[in-house]
Amino acid sequence: MEEEKSLSLVSSFSDTYRNNMGMLMLVCSILVSWIFMHRWNQRKKKGPKTWPLVGAAIEQFMNYDRMHDWLVKYLSESKTVVVPMPFATYTYIADPANVEHVLKTNFNNYPKGEVYRSYMEVLLGEGIFNVDGELWKRQRKTASFEFASRNLREFSNKVFREYSLKLSSILSQASFLNQQVDMQELFMRMTLDSICKVGFGVEIGTLAPNLPENGFALAFDTANIIVTLRFIDPLWKIKKFLCVGSEAQLDKTIKTIDDFTYSVIRRRKAEIEEARATGQEDKIKHDILSRFIELGGNNSTDKSLRDVVLNFVIAGRDTTATTLSWAIYMIMTHDHVAEKLYLELKTFEEDRAKEENVSLHQCDTDPESLNQRIMQFAKLLDKDSLEKLHYLHAVITETLRLYPAVPQDPKGILEDDVLPDGTEVKAGGMVTYVPYSMGRMEYNWGPDAASFKPERWFKDESIQNESPFKFTAFQAGPRICLGKDSAYLQMRMALAILCRFYKFRLVAGHPVKYRMMTILSMAHGLKLTIERRS
């Protein structure tokens, strides 16, 4: 009897096991069939491999450190690439017609959007680069008025010259001592000092000869990196809620940024009130913060001013510094460009010296005599004279074509739409135009698209402009960059001085590649040695 019960239990267990195994095999076969059918349906589609549930997240994650070049590969095969992700579908575009549709024709349908805003709000708040609608329009109108101000232009020109000379002095010393320098770090310091002077009206001194560390600068860089990681980190909201990992670090960096920013705002408000109370309004500074405080009156909260200024810092510091870094790299790796640029600058100097009957000092005997000669040259440089240096302008513009400061720019989608090439995009997704890829597309620039060729910007010996929907380094349409002229002014000023008096060489074995951030900075800096030019 006992034996029969045992056999019955074994038989029952076997039946259950077979049923469960059968069910498991059925589920597995359905899952495999589902994956097979998904992949089969994707076989003719161009773009990255996609999988059920996770979309293209696996391939994108594996290529994260080289994501811009990953997109170049797919956008060279198709002008529009659709990349499904777990929580949204990204549509990447490189065709100027599609870009014009998104940035201008149907502008209102493609705002920054809540997804982008949620990623960047901790750093940019409700500043001009992170808002839409009426709030954006009001800030845009005020900023447009300010950039047209003659006082701000003259103040900026003075500041840009001052800090370009400080940078040159550091390079002069390095050239006599045969020291290596990290050019990107120096440019970051120069542009941070410059934008803090133009934006806040304060001297923070990161470009001092001993190159001191600055808590605000370090915090700003760290925050920029972490918010960029949010774009591919599906767990960032959980980490933020639990205050762990990168999000805990972000909280600390934002506190450092805010402490500095709010202290400057309070000090500037007090200075303006004192100037008004004593009838010395003419002593109110011409920096952007002071102008926004004056224009906003009692309606300007410390938080709104904080957001305004930090948006100008990220726009005027990182973008200019990275472009200058890539420009120096392009110049020194293309000897004919370096020599042609040097000849333009030397000829300019000699012609102006003749016009003003000025004798030029010798400049290669010691750092002091070199610095005096460079200061003499810098006095010749203002907005009008710099605009006459056409080859310099072409070098900067060609750098921006291949190495745009903002390599990708995503937009939200409010309503379903159809792009000019027939691509359907769905509400709630994202459309991203890709300046980095656009500059490398043969269908945009011809068979030499990947080549660094400043001469492409000339026609009949005059500079020619391209459509902003093709050359998208400064965006286009209603959001086109208001600081374009200011950025060109600073870059022309710095490069005119540096490329007239120095030759740069890359330190042997130093790797040059980009780091994944919102800005196209170099991952390992730009380590150089400096030679003097006569």
User: Which domain covers residue 290, as residue numbers?
Assistant: 110-404+473-532
More confident position, 124 or 506: 506
Residue (of 367, 252, 319) closest to 517 by Cα position: 319
The CATH code of the domain that includes 413 is: 3.30.43.20
More confident position, 91 or 65: 91
Q: Is residue 245 part of a domain?
A: yes
Those residues with Cβ within 8 angstroms of residue 443's Cβ, 6 or more apart along the chain or in another chain = 79, 95
Torsion of CA 505, 489, 195, 294, to 10 degrees: 180
Over residues 376-416, the pLDDT tens digits come to 899 999 888 999 999 999 999 999 999 999 999 999 999 99
Does one domain contain both 365 and 262? yes
Which pair of tokens denotes residue 140? Answer: 């845009």
Q: Using pLDDT thresholds of 50, 70 and 90, give the confidence band for residue 318.
A: confident
Does one domain contain both 333 and 377? yes
More confident position, 24 or 329: 329
How is the beta sheet containing 409-412 ordered, strand by strand? 80-84, 89-93, 430-433, 409-412
More confident position, 469 or 223: 469
Annotated binding-site residues for heme read 481
Those residues with Cβ within 8 angstroms of residue 53's Cβ, 6 or more apart along the chain or in another chain = 86
Last-in-domain residue among 472, 494, 514: 472
Does one domain contain both 500 and 467? no
Residue range 301-329: mean pLDDT, rounded: 89
Does one domain contain both 137 and 72? no
Annotated binding-site residues read 481
Q: Residue 38 above 70 pLDDT?
A: no
Q: Using pLDDT thresholds of 50, 70 and 90, give the confidence band for residue 317.
A: confident
Position 315 scores a pLDDT of: 79
Does one domain contain both 164 and 180? yes
User: To which residue do tokens 């957001």 refer?
Assistant: 307
Q: Is residue 507 part of a domain?
A: yes
| One-letter amino acid for residue 390 of the chain | H
Helix (H, G, I), strand (E, B) or coil at 166: helix
DSSP state of 410: E
Type and span of the H or E element at 83: strand 80-84
Q: Among 27-31, 272-276, 423-427, name the most confident range.
A: 423-427
DSSP 432-468: EE-HHHHTT-HHHH-TTTTS--GGGGEETTEE----T
Those residues with Cβ within 8 angstroms of residue 51's Cβ, 6 or more apart along the chain or in another chain = 35, 38, 39, 58
Given a contact cutoff of 8 angstroms between Cβ atoms, the answer to whether 397 and 457 are in contact is yes
Q: How many CB atoms lie within 10 A of CB 133?
A: 10
Residue range 22-41: mean pLDDT, rounded: 50
Position 502 scores a pLDDT of: 95
Does one domain contain both 297 and 163? yes
Does one domain contain both 279 and 417? no
CA 517 to chain centre: 8
Which pair of tokens denotes residue 12? Answer: 């029952």
Which pair of tokens denotes residue 119? Answer: 């990623």
Position 26 scores a pLDDT of: 54
Does one domain contain both 260 and 300? yes
| One-letter amino acid for residue 199 of the chain | G
Count of domains in the chain? 2
Does one domain contain both 254 and 279? yes
Does one domain contain both 307 and 378? yes
The CATH code of the domain that includes 389 is: 1.10.630.10
More confident position, 185 or 199: 185
Does one domain contain both 395 and 272? yes
Does one domain contain both 306 and 369? yes
| One-letter amino acid for residue 175 of the chain | S
